[in-house]
Amino acid sequence: MAAPVRVVALGQKLVRFHNARTAFNVIHRRWAGDGARRAPRPSEPAEDAPLPFSSSGAATWRARDTFGGGAEEDDTPWYQMPSVLISVTALLVYFCVLREENDIDERLGRDALRDVPGLERQTLEAYVRHEEAAGRTADAERRRLEELLVLESAERERKQKRAPPGPA
């Protein structure tokens, strides 16, 4: 479920905030006069001149200003990081060490080219086309493709012989 969005009027603007902390910090800075203490903006530089990084606002901008909502203090509880680390460690130990393999794990470990009918032929055809387009040879793959085509035709003939004759 999405977090509620707060709409606050600041002067003539309506500003949307996704959490109360961001809304408080912006309103506090606006009404406490923080905007008045900022250095005046320099005039617009020429379009062909490089922008000086050290005198721009990006030189003093911190990631916390963008992603942390502007809060100066860290308000995460001391036990948050250890509890997350312990939970992730327990999950990894269970799934990677303690859990026994079951039939689904065995099925996932098998070769899909052998289990899915026609997949190996399609893969080899695509690979041979790709290699020919690149100007390279794929002799081994071409031989395997010919073997598969012979096997498939023999399988089709065998099925036709076993099939009961249709009504005439």
One domain for residues 137 and 117:
yes
Residue 37 lies in a domain: no
DSSP 8-state symbol, 98? I
C-alpha–C-alpha distance, residues 66 and 72, integer Å: 12
**Is 70 within the bounds of a domain?**
no
Residue 127, pLDDT score: 93
- Quick check: is 140 in a domain? yes
Q: Is residue 156 situated within a structural domain? A: yes
pTM of the model: 0.37
Q: Is residue 48 part of a domain?
A: no
Query: Could you report the per-residue pLDDT of 85-108, keeping only the tens digit for each?
Result: 999 999 999 999 999 988 888 888
Total domains in the chain come to 2
Q: Which amino acid is at 29?
A: R
Segments forming the whole domain that contains residue 136: 112-162
H or E element, residue 22: helix 20-32
Count CA atoms within 13 Å of residue 67 on its CB side.
3
Q: Residue 79 in 3-state DSSP?
A: coil
